Structure 1
Amino acid sequence: MPTVFDSMAARLRSAWKPHKQATTPRAFRCQCGRPVFFRNSQCLNCGTALGYDPARSQVLPLEPLGEHLWREFGAGELAPAYRRCGNFEAAAACNWLLPAEEKGPDGQFAPLCKACRLNHTIPDLSVEENALWWGRIEVAKRRLVSQLIGLGLPVLSKVEDPERGLAFDFLRAPEGGPPVMTGHDDGLITINVEEADDARREKLRAQLHEPYRTLLGHFRHEVGHYYWDRLVKDTEWINPVRELFGDDRMDYAAALKKNYEEGPPADWKDRFVSTYASCHPWEDWAETWAHYLHMVDTVDTALSFGIDADDVEIEAVPWTREALWRPDDADAEAFLGFINAWTELTAVLNEMARSMGQADFYPFVLPKPAVAKLQLIHAIVRGTGAQVEPPAAPKAAPSSTAEEEPAEPVA
């Protein structure tokens, strides 16, 4: 049964020829023909209401059907009805849709969309700035969740799947209280709300000598720990992952302590995607997973807007099969096309950022071992998409880091 990656691989294999389509589209049009975007809830040209249908990975122009009900504009009377997410008018400003008849585990109509129902705790909105910061956090989270759905990965809340589901706590430390720890524990991901303060986050990035730190990066790193539990631990993938990333049974606390006291090994650039990836196999996995999601979503965005690697004037030394985890894999050539297209694309995007006096779009250089690890992650994600429901993994790998520590250098 073909997966979402089969179609993307076929397109990449043909060197990004015209008329490509993305796995998770990022470019959309209103019924008036004007471009609209992933986070839009109304067309700025004609005023048509818009909503995102995660099942179709599409922003749809909408027309009212009655009180609180909508359908796709011009789709006809037989078109399915939608309801807006209950957080549409909240500070989260969620533009996602859900089927009008969808019900929750309690048998009642589900009030929240597939992304918002993952929230376990939101910040206290009576506290100044929290509403603004929560809105920014939700924008990043919706981007993440839409991509996970597009890749065919399991995305269920802990209400829907108490043992293996995913949930988010968005917390802010009380005045004079202990700092909020950003991390993952048994499917519950905690994000420090203050990371949504751009000035504070940039100050931390500079203090920690990180090349990159964003809300979306935090989400992608921490969800990597969650999917290690879901897709790797106690599955057939555990041995290949240990071969490439190292033995995860090594003392995690001791590894972190050594990293903070001594810093990364001198040769980290030759083996890892970041300094933090070098401290323990769990962090290497989470960092590499985050980079994989960065790469796939950026390629999806480029494909969505017709950016063609054939038009790039930069010539880069291409990666060959010799760099791969499994050079003879049936998908190897397609994966190489993906990696090499990424290399050319980011070289140009970095120059474009510099032309505006901004930091590099992708301030990383992939070493050869990281390419092999990325291929392994690609294989796991691709296999998961084919299975739909992957093998269960019982307990979470501990991943909890103080807000002042370089927990997620890709974030």
Structure 2
Amino acid sequence: MKRFTCQSCGQLLFFENTRCDQCNSPLGYMPEAANLAALVPVGQGVWRAVGCNNSTEDHVFCANHAYDVCNWMSPSAQDTGAFCFACQFNRVIPNLNIPGNMERWRKLENAKHRLFYTILRLKLPVKTRQQDPQEGLVFDFLDDSADGDPPIMTGHSHGVITIAAKEADDAYRERMRVKMGEYYRTLLGHFRHEIGHYYWNMLIRDGGRLEQCRAVFGDERLDYQAALQNHYARLPPDNWRENYVSLYAMSHPWEDFAETWAHYFHIVSTFETALSYDMTIGAPPNAQAIPTSGHDPYLHMPFDEIIRAWLPLTYAVNSLNRSMGLADFYPFVLTAGVRAKLRFVHDVVREVQQSGG
């Protein structure tokens, strides 16, 4: 994530901010410029970035801005409908008549918008359901039924990403993290994992990369349900970290790919944040410190350079967390086997960028 500052007063901003805490300027995110802008009104519902005098830069807020769940904007002359780029992929939102669901929806949207920030920065293709009725991307944020039906499970199927609304409750998510023996479980992690399944379909299955992917992750034709049953019925081997970034990645090649994809998103997004704040980390012997300028992990940095810089960053931030009595910021081990899988994802992303999608 970039570092954002208010153009009116210079105050540092967070990606989700809708007003500057210092000068109270309204803020809107303009995805085409990857910029969080301080705004001035120039008409009924029409806004322009502070200091801009060009009417072609006029923008309107997403319809979901009225619910305080979205701060993204669209060019006012662009015929995109009532929703911004990110919110156009919503199909079902939580039932807002249920107490607490407004806050759950806000948390879901915060995570989803960070997902789309990364998708856009990586210049990855993405299709709506209108563009691709069979496999286009949509999000269903669903509540458990009160009629005794099976609970909603987070997952992906043919472009439909279902996120259980209860995952936005911190207490529930922590209980599940402990129950499932996971090191890490966040809303953003769910989004990044499930979008990995979407891109497996688009870039691997339909992108002519099946054989290369199978050589790295294994054969996805392995029976999925049987593989999951076997995974949960057995104890993991002591050396599982040699080839898998998480225990769940062991369950099936599809899950291995999605977990690895999610970690690639974790790495490039967090690394961009470190670079944007000019963080410098004293590297251990024979390792490379984080570069401070002229690098873009989304588009230009070679994989080896990203990893050499990522490792000392995780050591430093894990140590900071431990100093505060918190769990490790990045509790994962990037062994040679895991790095080979991350490199495959990196190479696929770069190929897509170079081909224009």
Residue 272 of structure 1 contacts residue 370 of structure 1 at CA under 8 Å; is this kept in 2? yes
Determine whether 1:48 maps to 2:25: yes
Between stretches 163-172 and 193-202, larger displacement belongs to: 163-172
Match of 2:335 among 360, 367, 370: 367
How far did residue 317 of structure 1 move?
5.7
> In the alignment, which residue of structure 2 is the partner of 1:165?
136
Distance in 2, matches of 1:251 and 1:170, equals 28
Q: What TM-score, normalized by structure 1, do the two folds share?
A: 0.81
Match of 1:206 among 178, 201, 219: 178
Match of 1:101 among 43, 54, 77: 77
Determine whether 1:313 maps to 2:290: no
Distance in 2, matches of 1:57 and 1:286, equals 26
Q: Aligned partner of 2:4: which letter?
A: A
How far did residue 354 of structure 1 move?
0.6
The 1:245–1:332 alpha-carbon spacing in structure 2 relative to 1, beyond 3 Å, is farther
How far did residue 157 of structure 1 move?
2.1
**Structure 2 residue matching 1:148: 3-state secondary structure:** helix
The 1:316–1:222 alpha-carbon spacing in structure 2 relative to 1, beyond 3 Å, is farther
Aligned-residue sequence identity (percent) comes to 43
For structure 1, which runs of at least 5 residues remain unmatched after alignment? 1-23, 105-109, 320-330, 390-411
Over residues 272-323 of structure 1, what are the superposed CA-to-partner deviations in whole Å (9 max), with x where a residue is unaligned? 1011101111010000000000000000111111112xxx23416659xxxx
Match of 1:245 among 217, 235, 260: 217
Q: Aligned partner of 2:156: which letter?
A: H
Over residues 332-358 of structure 1, what are the superposed CA-to-partner deviations in whole Å (9 max), with x where a residue is unaligned? 993211101000000000000111111
Distance in 2, matches of 1:248 and 1:156, equals 24
Residue 157 of structure 1 contacts residue 166 of structure 1 at CA under 8 Å; is this kept in 2? yes
> In the alignment, which residue of structure 1 is the partner of 2:321?
353
Alignment of 1:87-98 (within 5 A): 87-91=64-68, 93-98=69-74
Determine whether 1:341 maps to 2:317: no
Match of 1:137 among 96, 104, 108: 108
Distance in 1, matches of 2:217 and 2:207, equals 16
**Structure 1 residue matching 2:136: 3-state secondary structure:** coil
> In the alignment, which residue of structure 1 is the partner of 2:127?
156
Q: Which has the higher contact order (CA 8 A, sep 6+)?
A: 1
Distance in 2, matches of 1:204 and 1:333, equals 36
> In the alignment, which residue of structure 1 is the partner of 2:197?
225
Q: Aligned partner of 1:369: which letter?
A: G
Determine whether 1:117 maps to 2:88: yes
How far did residue 67 of structure 1 move?
0.3
How far did residue 31 of structure 1 move?
2.1
Alignment of 1:283-294 (within 5 A): 283-294=255-266
> In the alignment, which residue of structure 2 is the partner of 1:174?
145
Residue 205 of structure 1 contacts residue 213 of structure 1 at CA under 8 Å; is this kept in 2? yes
Distance in 2, matches of 1:264 and 1:253, equals 18
Q: Aligned partner of 2:347: which letter?
A: A
Q: Aligned partner of 1:256: which letter?
A: L
Residue 124 of structure 1 contacts residue 130 of structure 1 at CA under 8 Å; is this kept in 2? yes
Distance in 2, matches of 1:43 and 1:383, equals 39
Over residues 32-90 of structure 1, what are the superposed CA-to-partner deviations in whole Å (9 max), with x where a residue is unaligned? 22212211111111111110011111101111011000111111144411000000021
Alignment of 1:386-401 (within 5 A): 386-389=354-357
**Structure 1 residue matching 2:205: 3-state secondary structure:** coil
Distance in 2, matches of 1:337 and 1:275, equals 27
Between stretches 75-84 and 35-44, larger displacement belongs to: 75-84
> In the alignment, which residue of structure 2 is the partner of 1:6?
none
Over residues 80-134 of structure 1, what are the superposed CA-to-partner deviations in whole Å (9 max), with x where a residue is unaligned? 110000000215x200000112224xxxxx1000111110101110011111101
Distance in 2, matches of 1:63 and 1:256, equals 53
Determine whether 1:382 maps to 2:337: no
How far did residue 369 of structure 1 move?
0.9
Aligned length: 346
RMSD: 1.8
**Structure 1 residue matching 2:57: 3-state secondary structure:** coil
The 1:343–1:123 alpha-carbon spacing in structure 2 relative to 1, beyond 3 Å, is same
> In the alignment, which residue of structure 2 is the partner of 1:401?
none
Distance in 2, matches of 1:155 and 1:333, equals 23
Residue 30 of structure 1 contacts residue 48 of structure 1 at CA under 8 Å; is this kept in 2? no
Distance in 2, matches of 1:281 and 1:313, equals 37
Distance in 2, matches of 1:67 and 1:271, equals 56
Residue 13 of structure 2 contacts residue 20 of structure 2 at CA under 8 Å; is this kept in 1? yes
Match of 2:4 among 5, 19, 27: 27
Distance in 1, matches of 2:195 and 2:209, equals 18
